[in-house]
Amino acid sequence: MTLSELSEKANFIAGHQRVLRAHWNHYGNSLVQAITLSRASLHLSVGCNNDNGLGFWLFDHFLIRVTPEQAFNGHIFNYTIEARDDQQSVLIGRARLSDDGMLDGTIHIDQREAVFNHFLDKINGVYTALYEATERGESLTLATLAQHHAAV
């Protein structure tokens, strides 16, 4: 392989990485704006957001994170939940972001409301488990939430 061929491949890879990072940032902006501008009373607030992921507090007790997979050229987002002051987390969903800015092949990241609804679909099982526990007057631990979410 010649130096110019190697340089061409490196530029191709770097270009795709820039596009993927730009899509991740755009997805995050769309989601944060949708949550911030939502008039619905979801008891969901924007928490820590950085290059490593997005964080949203649910009832100021659970932290829902959206993080890109830790792989080179990673196209997968992981949706996890953890309790305040607990480092354990439970995977509650995954999504794929394509090179053309499509989320799970159906939603473009420019569509703020669609991005928001996609996120709500991913975390719907959490609200269901919280509602059921509250309705029955039961405690809900992260372990119980993980069992409930696995059953959904």
Q: How far apart are CA 103 and CA 118, in angstroms?
A: 9
Is residue 149 very low, low, confident or very high in pLDDT (cuts 50, 70, 90)? Answer: low
- For residues 122-139, one letter each, b for 16 or more C-beta atoms within 10 angstroms of the residue's C-beta and e for the rest, the string is bbebbeebbeebeeeeee
Tell me the residue length of the chain.
Answer: 152
Is the pLDDT assigned to residue 70 strictly greater than 70? yes
Q: What's the rounded Cα separation, in Å, for the pair 55 and 47?
A: 5
Task: Give the C-alpha separation, 147 to 152, whole Å.
Answer: 9
Q: Cα–Cα distance between 40 and 53 in angstroms, integer?
A: 24
- What is the predicted pLDDT for the residue at 49? 67
Give the bridge partners for 83, in sequence order. 62
Lowest mean pLDDT among 47-51, 93-97, 116-120: 47-51
Question: Quick one: pLDDT band at residue 150, thresholds 50, 70, 90?
Answer: low
| Nearby residues of 47 by Cβ (< 8 Å), 6 or more positions away | 55, 56, 57, 63
Tokens linked to 118: 């996609």
State yes or no: pLDDT of 152 exceeds 60.
Answer: no
Q: What is the pLDDT of residue 33?
A: 93
The model's pTM: 0.89
